Each structure stands twice: as structure tokens, then as C-alpha cells.
Amino acid sequence: MSTATARACANIALVKYWGKRDAARNLPAAGSLSLTLGALVTETTVAFDPALASDELNLDGASARPADVSRTSAFLDLVRAEASITTRARVTSTNDFPTASGLASSASGYAALAVAATTAAGITMSPRALSMLARRGSGSAARSIFGGFVRMHAGQAVDGSDAFAEPIVSRLADRVRMVIAIVGGGAPKAHGSRDAMDHTAATSPFYRAWVELVPHDLAAADGALAAADLATLGTIAEANSLAMHASAIAARPAIWYWQPTTLALLAEVRALRQRGAAAWATMDAGPHVKVLTSIDEAEAVAAALRTVPGTTSVTISGPGGPATVTT
């Protein structure tokens, strides 16, 4: 039996990934830009065992749903093909934050799975190759292979050979914090990201405009990172997030993740900014609000968000590191 354990951090996209140009290979319709978060961690152990008749998945201390086992098994098939083995595996994965609720657990989950599974199978891959492998499990997982600010390239090749993530060096990495406000106790969301983005792409009259917007936001965000300009980066991130949700809300029927507390938190962020604070909101496919801010203002921003009725908890996160093997 060959076993390895890896850990990876979730990432929050500042310029969003929402929609695919090829669902089978998980190729994004447009590029994206994210910040890996040290406070949101997944740890995954993969054990290839000849005694197993089928793959097994234990997620957060319980046997996973058949759909999740099937998705994990399909991903492991990619690793088995690369390693020229057929051995089934036992996968144990734990998130130290709510799973499947809009906090990018699939990103950290498949990044950790990619690193643990390849290590257990005896495969050595470059970070870029690991990024492309992780992408096959979850599009955003390609970014969680790396720490800090990360740029995902959508690519143009049919086989996905140019669709990968890479880290971006910026002086902002030492200054930024993300304040994470949890809404609804972190309960699983009604619409999974994969199905929701497919539905949005198929039915939203705003989706094409969304895809055309992303390259402009990426170029502006790249410039902000190069100049270490937090205000410009935050402004882009908040506008891009709202545009993504607008495209989803316009789908027919609508994909609606927001709760009343979500709206109250967004209003509080705007009020903080009007009072002179460095605070810009972003949201993924879920009700939670994440606020990009500076290291100097993170505590004050967190304190303000804790006063919003309905907010379950608030966490401050610095940038996280790359996915790594622990044992």
C-alpha cells in the first residue's frame, strides 16, 4: 500500500472563474485571478490499496455521497493512467472550514488530492503539470496549487495544454488580508458551482457580456498588482464579483445565492469605505462575503462585520502558501 498526505489552501478569486469552454476537460471560458488563503485548509490522505475493490472517500469524518465518490474516482483514474496502475484508493479528506457552502472547498480539495494522489502513486510532476491535473477535478483547484496571488490562463488549445495557473509576485502580498464573513452557519448551498455556471452559460442573457468583461478586468488587476495598488485591485474585485452574480441572477430560472445577511454585509462594506476604510467585497457561489483589505485595517473591518445581524462568524486570513506534501 502506498500512502501520502497533502494539504492545500482554498483560494478566493478576485477576477472570477465562471463558465467553461470545454466541460469535459474543465477548461475555463475566461482567465481568472485569485488570492490563496491561509485560514482555509484542506488535508487529504490517499492510500492505494490492492485489497480494495473500488475507490472509497471519507469527507469530514463521514462516508461521502455516491456522486462525490464517483467524481473523485474519475479524477483518480487520471492519476492511475499516468502511473500505469489500476489499484483502487482510499481517500480521507478534511476541511477546517465549511464544505460545499461557497468557500472554495473544491479548490483546496482537488489541489490536495492531486498532490497526495500523485505522490502516493510515485509520480513526480512539475507545479504547472499539477495545476493542469488539479483543474480536471475543479477549475479553481488549478490556482490552489500555488500560494499568494495566482493567475489562471484560460488557454486556447483544444487539449488544455495551455490552461494552467501560475503565481504572481506582488508587493501587495505582504500587505493584504481577507476578512471572511460566514452567513447561514456554513450550510451546504442549494446550487453547486458546476451546475450553476453551466445553467448560467446556457440561459443568462448577460453571460456573454460577462465573458467579454473578464479580460479587461484581468488586465486592470494585473496592472494593480504590478503597482501594488490595493484600492484599484479592490475596486476591480468588487465590481467583477457583482457582475458574475448579476449574470447568475439573470439566468432562467435565476441562480440566487444571496441571503438577507449577505445584503446587509455588502451594505456594511460600502459604509466602511464611505468612512475611509480600505474594504472591498467579493463573493463566490455562496452567501458568504469576503472583504479584501489591508493588514492595518483587517481587525477594524472584522469588528464591523461581526455587528451585522445574522453573521455566523468572521475570520481574518492572510495569504496562504502552495499545496504541499505533509507525510
- Alpha-carbon span 326 to 284, nearest angstrom: 28
**Strands 20-22, 27-28: parallel, antiparallel or unpaired by DSSP?**
antiparallel
Instruction: Give the pTM.
Output: 0.96
Phi, psi of 319 (to 5 degrees): -60, 140
Q: Which ranges of the chain does DSSP label H, i.e. alpha helix?
A: 66-83, 105-120, 127-137, 141-144, 193-203, 207-227, 230-249, 260-274, 298-306
Q: Tell me which residue has cell 484508493.
A: 89
Q: Is the pLDDT of residue 138 over 90?
A: yes
Residue 190 has pLDDT above 80, yes or no: no
**What residue spans in the chain does CATH classification 3.30.70.890 cover?**
172-317
Give Cα separations from 316 to 45, 136, 300, 322 (angstroms). Answer: 27, 30, 11, 19
pLDDT, tens digit, 9 for 90 and up, residues 280-306: 999 999 999 999 999 999 999 999 999
CATH of domain 172-317: 3.30.70.890
Tell me the fold of 2-170: Ribosomal Protein S5; domain 2 (3.30.230)
Instruction: Tell me where in the chain the CATH 3.30.230.10 domain(s) lie.
Output: 2-170
Mean pLDDT of 13-20: 95
